[in-house]
Amino acid sequence: MSVYAYTANTIRGQEVTLDKYAGKVMLIVNTASKCGFTPQYADLQKLYEKYAEREFVILGFPCNQFGDQEPGTNEDVHTFCQLNYGVTFPLFEKIDVNGSERHPLFAYLTDSKPFQGFDLAASSGRMLNAYFEEHFPERLEGNDIKWNFTKFLINREGQVVERFESPVDPLDLEAAIEPLL
């Protein structure tokens, strides 16, 4: 199985089968407009612009499951991303990434690349880990998405290669992306 087996609706409501991106390297990200990690949109856009000609695409999936940080409509999300970050990579409709209503794509992604913990060598990783230990220790268990801006790197065959947690800056992914291009 690969990500090509899944469909999703674009932010404009058009159903797309992910095999549309067959042969491309993908970065699939759950996003939010009112999160401390929201400025990652800027670096995601930079990555997209830098590597798009080399068959690289980013797919953004807005989600409101973490602190109600994506409360608007799909149109609100689209407008916010374009006006504030100049996002031109594909955005999809708001979805759930955890729980009984989670999108099947994210069930596949989290099954393929389990949660390995936050990078405690990085200050943002330590901060998020401490936040969870104090407020939501149960969320540190299992393979569910932990927060907004979890990133999954997909190779040209549609297989999940790596999972990067929220605190990992998109520009720090270049060393993982380049060998796949």
State the DSSP code for 176.
H
- Homologous superfamily (CATH) for 3-167: Glutaredoxin (3.40.30.10)
106: Cβ contacts below 8 Å, ≥ 6 apart: 30, 61, 95, 96, 97, 98, 145
CA dist., res. 180 & res. 153, Å (int): 10
For residue 180, which phi and psi values (nearest 5 degrees)?
-85, -15
pTM, full prediction: 0.97
Q: Which pLDDT score is estimated for 87?
A: 98
Q: pLDDT value at position 24?
A: 98
Domain ranges of the chain: 3-167
Which tokens is 58 given?
A: 């980013």
- List per-residue pLDDT tens for the chain, 181 residues long: 899 999 999 999 999 999 999 999 999 999 999 999 999 999 999 999 999 999 999 999 999 999 999 999 999 999 999 999 999 999 999 999 999 999 999 999 999 999 999 999 999 999 999 999 999 999 999 999 999 999 999 999 999 999 999 999 999 999 999 999 9
pLDDT at res. 153:
98
Which residue out of 3, 25, 35, 168 is catalytically annotated? Answer: 35
- Alpha carbon separation from 53 to 25, 56, 118, 123 (Å, rounded): 11, 7, 32, 34
- The answer to whether residue 81 is catalytic is no
